[in-house]
Every structure is written in C-alpha cells, then in structure tokens.
Copies of this chain bind each other. A is one copy, B any other.
Amino acid sequence: MRESDLEVLRELPLFKRMADRQLERLTRPASLHRYPANTLLIAEGSRPDFLHVLVEGCVELFASHNGRQTTIEIIRPTTTFILAAAILDQPYLKSAKTLLESRVLLLPANALRAVFREDADFAYAVIAELAERYRSVVKLLKDQKLRLTPERLANWLLKTAAVQNNTGSLTLDFEKKTLASLLGTTPENLSRALAQLETAGVKTTGRTITIANIEELRASANPSPLIDSSI
C-alpha cells in the first residue's frame, strides 16, 4: 500500500481516530486494486472476505431477484461499502460493480473484526458509520414508498446539483438507465419524468441537466430533511 493511500484512509471518519498500531494491522494485509468500468466487484449472496473502500471512481450497488434488477446506491469516493456484511460475516445482500474506472482498497474482513474488538475509538467509529448507513437506507425506503417517480427524480436532481456545484446544473457520469433503476423506474419512464419536469424549468441535453430556477423546482419537489438530507 502506498503512503498516499494510507493518508486517504486516515481521512475517513471510520479510521480517523484509530490507533496507529491497529491501523497498521488492518492495512498491512490490505491491497489496492484498479478496475476498469463495468467490473463486477461483488456478487450478491457470496461471502464477504473484504471490506471495500472506494478510493477513486464510482461504484453501483444493486440487487437482483426473479429476473428483475434494481440499483440500491451509487457510491462515490471516499467511502467504505458493504460494511455490515463484513462485520457480521453474512452473505452480501447486494452486488457491486464499477461504473467508472475505479481504485478500491480491500481490507480483510477478519482483520477488521479483530481490530474493533481491541480499539474502542474504532468501535465507536464503526457504530457511528453503521448508524448513519442505517438511516440512509431508511430514507431510501421512505423515498420509494412515499413518493411518485417525478418527485423522486426532482429531489434527486436537487440533491445532486447541490453536491456537484451550486449553479443548478449537473452532469451524469453514468448511464441514464442506472439512474432510472436507482429511482425505481425504467429508462422509458425516466425520460418521461424528465420531460414532465420541463414545465418546472428542468432542461435535459444528453447527460447534462440544467435547472433554470432551483426554488421553483424545490417547490414542486417538496424535499424533506427526513428523506433527503445526507445525514
């Protein structure tokens, strides 16, 4: 592992306050990999050998059942993923694949489980991380059950535009069908939902979407901190 990667790890809330000795114990057997876009990293149902940390790129978490498939989350650096499965040593509930060329750090799950039994600060960081993840999935479930597709889209646009820049424009760096699946709909209906939002000042040209008037869109999206906040 390169020194610069170790620094990246140190920046994560999960590892920020960890004792040097413990961090070394975790990172010594770790390895950093580079994957091209559209590489399957994890297959739903398999056993978790590693905690994954996305260092660079973009990863989609998705699940399949009965011939259907849905996107659960899209992960950005720097984030750990599939923490719960690694901790419990239970089969992955989601598959993971790269959407862009990505660098991923693999930390052996057994080292992880050993370390947080000995490092109270780390144990607390894991608690905080899991609690936040829990809340974010609850928000996804509320979004799905309490909103119609155009509302989900409008709120997603507001959130994403706010993260990318604050000028009210955003650019997708993955396919629209992936966004459709994330929103719980089909590519066809995403197209229609985007067309429908034109009346609220949303203009789509290829992968770039501009929001003419953020306040106007916000009024129709009706965002709620109990569904849309990142915390």
Contacts and interface: CB of A to CB of B under 8 A. Distances in A.
B88 A128 contact: yes
Contacts of A139: 93
Interface stretch (A9-17, A33-41, A62-70, A203-211): A62-70
Interface in A15-63: 44-45, 63
A85 B55 CA distance: 28
A8 interface: no
A123 interface: yes
B45 A135 contact: no
Interface residues of A, number: 51
A90 B68 CA distance: 35
Nearest to A142: B63
Contact of A127 (B126, B135, B231): B126
Nearest to A45: B226
Nearest to A84: B131
Contacts of A117: 120, 124
Interface of A: 44-45, 63-66, 68-70, 72, 83-85, 87-88, 90-91, 93-94, 116-117, 120, 123-124, 126-128, 130-135, 137-142, 144-147, 151, 184, 222, 224-227, 231
29 contacts: A44-B226, A63-B145, A63-B146, A65-B224, A65-B226, A66-B146, A70-B145, A70-B146, A72-B142, A83-B131, A84-B130, A84-B131, A84-B135, A87-B127, A87-B131, A88-B132, A93-B139, A93-B142, A93-B226, A94-B138, A123-B124, A123-B127, A127-B127, A130-B130, A130-B131, A134-B134, A134-B137, A137-B141, A140-B141
